[in-house]
Amino acid sequence: MRSRLTGWALGTLTVGFLLYQWMPIATLSLLSFSGPTGGTTFPMNGVSLHWYRELWDASIMNDFKPPLWRSFVLALACSAVTTVLAVTAAQAMRGKFRGHNAFFYLLLLGIMAPGLLVGFGVALMARMLGVEPSWNGTAFLVHVSWTLPFGFMAMLAIFNRFDARIEEAALTLGATRWVAFQRITFPIVLPGIIGAALFGFSLSYDEFARSMFTTGADQTLPLAVLAQMDRQLTPELYAIGTATTVTSFFAILACIGSLALIRRSMRRG
Amino acid sequence: MSTIRIRSPAAYWLAVPAALWMLCAVVVPALLILWVSFWGGRQFSAASPLVLDNYTRFFGNQTYMNLIVQTLIHTATLMAICGVLGYCIAYFLVVKVRNAKLRTALFLAFIIPFWTSALIRAIAWVPFLGTNGVINNALMGLGLIDRPVEVFLYSRTGISMAQVSLYTLMASGPVVYMLAQIPPALREAAMTLKAPPGVVFWRIIFPLTLPGVVIGQVLVFLNVMADFATVATIGGNKIALLANLILNFYEGAQIRAAAVVSVILMACMLIGVVAAMRVVDIRKLGA
């Protein structure tokens, strides 16, 4: 009886929190469709796509298309580098080389270190080396230091669940280590790698703390949003927020899909 | 036997690119910040003499001292709220929900917002908090207040409200992980031996989840200490915490002062993480 009561109490709390968590996102999306005379809060003054159109034919001052393009390219590059380095790093961990514990903590540091400080340090480094901060230079360096550890952890988890006996069988049958990796290991963990790549993409795409001091004059999308936030809050920002969130949802769906795929292929194997 | 030989040179070389990248992008920059924080003079030059002036100036200013205390209090508050809330939610999801589909659905509803932009989520709180915002309108509609209250936007209350929604998952996730590892037979054994539910929880379940609680607290601590964006978005220019100070100093071209604050922030975080490691061994989590 008492346990039932705690169940109800905790359930109410959980559902309450979920509402609390989702309500701002829902409101943001709703307000992004407000009429041309709508403001940044209710009433909406009609329903329209006005703010999305405004976003599309923006003036040079607050044109979000170039930042969007930069963020997209940067995230793509980060995702590619992350995937390659995460797979090699996780494969290296399986080899338990000397100092692999220190190596693990080095990567963990990338997750723990506050983004603003990492960006600040890299900005100092660039200045000492006489390099101008840029979105495709210094910002790229910093972003990968953020996405790589997550990709690495994901690959470690995937290799942990991986049935090494399949590899053993291939090696016993005379495959070289490289061939066994290419033909056996890689295809089996591939959905996991795709998941890690998508995760890396979205981490870089949404990152702003690390970009703060390392991006230079040509801003990425989150920085442009922050700058606009500083000038004035408009429903256009809500439109961007909604569009970004919807994009994230698709990335998450793809991520979950690839994880479901790997679980199934591992069960079969 | 696997596709990589134990302790082979290949394993070592495969690790080198990632290690070099992390060293260049995280370790060296952190050391540079430490170095610059001791620079004397006014030029940006590696030949600057090393002095303690930057620190004495910072610690000599009462305003900055207050800011450190406020930041720590704010962070501790968030840790407490997110910790309790996160534990309750984790306990409900893992122990109380019996239906696997419902559990997955609730868990996804819990975790999905975490994968979207934290900046957008912070901005999403703004229409809620203003004097003309959703909360004020709702309270007035219910007749609880007759004038808009201004405690939400540009205040620490509003910042905390948004941060609770952003960081509760971090406190909860590791607890979910630990709770899911506890075999149900353990609880049944305790019940059979006539332990009342409270005793089962405090003497068996809670100690077993303690590592998860500590990891969650560390995550909330690190993120709240470093969060400048939520503070700037919701606090406007009226509220600043330690991380915002770094931003202000940097934009004011006071590199040395920014470095000093950064070092203090790093020191706080390091102390926090080391203290947490004394309570639990993080490495045991993965095992």
Residue of A nearest to B95 (CA): A7
User: What is the arithmetic mean of pLDDT over A80-102?
Assistant: 91
- Is-contact B34 A127, C-beta < 8 A? no
Indicate the residue of A98, A213, A237 with minimum beta-carbon distance to B250: A213
What single letter denotes the amino acid at residue B151? V
User: What is the arithmetic mean of pLDDT over B45-54?
Assistant: 82
Q: DSSP string of A134-163?
A: -TTTHHHHHHHHHHHHHHHHHHHHHHHHS-
Confidence of residue A227 (pLDDT cuts 50, 70, 90): confident
- Is-contact A226 B247, C-beta < 8 A? no
Contact B222 A185 (CB under 8 A): no
Contact A85 B127 (CB under 8 A): no
User: pLDDT tens-digit profile of A180-219?
Assistant: 888 888 888 888 888 889 889 989 998 999 998 999 888 8
User: What is the arithmetic mean of pLDDT over A238-265?
Assistant: 80
User: How far is residue B33 from each of residues A117, A119, B21, measured CA to CA in Å?
Assistant: 8, 11, 18
Given a cut of 80, whether residue A258 has pLDDT beyond it is: no
Determine the distance in angstroms separating the CA of B8 from the nearest CA of chain A, rounded to an integer.
Answer: 7
User: What is the arithmetic mean of pLDDT over B254-281?
Assistant: 88
Indicate the residue of B22, B96, B115 with minimum beta-carbon distance to A10: B96
Residues in chain A within 8 Å Cβ distance of B27: 106, 109
Residues in chain B within 8 Å Cβ distance of A11: 92, 96
Which pLDDT score is estimated for B169?
93
User: How far is residue A114 from each of residues B44, B257, B265, measured CA to CA in Å?
Assistant: 24, 18, 9
User: What is the arithmetic mean of pLDDT over B28-51?
Assistant: 86
Provide the sign of the torsion angle of the four alpha carbons A178, A180, A185, A186, taken in this order. positive
Q: Output the average pLDDT for chain B.
A: 86
What distance separates the 2 farthest-apart alpha carbons in chain B?
Answer: 74
Determine the distance in angstroms separating the CA of A192 from the nearest CA of chain B, rounded to an integer.
Answer: 17
Higher pLDDT, A158 or B46: A158
Lowest-confidence range among A13-27, A127-141, B178-192?
B178-192
> Using CA atoms, how far apart are residues A87 and B18, in angstroms rounded to an integer?
10
Given a cut of 90, whether residue A164 has pLDDT beyond it is: no
Mention every residue, 6+ apart, whose C-beta is less than 8 A from residue B19.
A89, A103, A106
Mention every residue, 6+ apart, whose C-beta is less than 8 A from residue A93.
A100, A103, A104, A156, A159, B15
> Using CA atoms, how far apart are residues B47 and B166, in angstroms rounded to an integer?
43
Q: How many CB pairs under 8 A join A and B?
A: 272
Which pLDDT score is estimated for A87?
93
Mention every residue, 6+ apart, whose C-beta is less than 8 A from residue B110.
A14, A18, A21, B89, B93, B169, B172
Which pLDDT score is estimated for B21?
94
Which pLDDT score is estimated for A61?
59
CA-closest candidate to residue B226, choices A197, A135, A210, A88: A210
> Using CA atoms, how far apart are residues A258 and B152, in angstroms rounded to an integer?
41
Which pLDDT score is estimated for B286?
46
Indicate the residue of A103, A148, A178 with minimum beta-carbon distance to B15: A103
CA-closest candidate to residue B26, choices A91, A107, A212: A107
Lowest-confidence range among A36-50, A80-94, A99-113, B186-200?
A36-50
Which pLDDT score is estimated for A210?
92
B49's tokens: 């003499």
Which pLDDT score is estimated for A268?
60
Q: Could you state, in order of their start, the residue ranges of all structural domains in chain B?
A: 61-286
Higher pLDDT, B14 or B236: B14
Which pLDDT score is estimated for A67?
87
Residue of B nearest to A183 (CA): B3
Which pLDDT score is estimated for B29?
94
Given a cut of 50, whether residue B287 has pLDDT beyond it is: no
Q: Which CATH number does B61-286 carry? A: 1.10.3720.10
Q: Which of A83-97, B6-20, B107-121, B148-162 has the highest mean pLDDT?
A: A83-97
User: pLDDT tens-digit profile of A22-72?
Assistant: 988 888 888 888 777 767 677 667 777 777 877 777 765 567 888 889 999
Which pLDDT score is estimated for B7?
77
ipTM score: 0.86
User: pLDDT tens-digit profile of B236-252?
Assistant: 777 788 899 999 898 88
> Using CA atoms, how far apart are residues B197 and B219, in angstroms rounded to an integer?
30
Which pLDDT score is estimated for B137?
77
Which pLDDT score is estimated for B278?
82
Right CATH number for A60-268 from 3.40.50.1000, 3.40.630.10, 1.10.3720.10, 3.40.50.720?
1.10.3720.10
Mention every residue, 6+ apart, whose C-beta is less than 8 A from residue A220.
A67, A70, A71, A74, A135, A139, A208, A211
Contact A40 B137 (CB under 8 A): no
Which pLDDT score is estimated for B2?
75
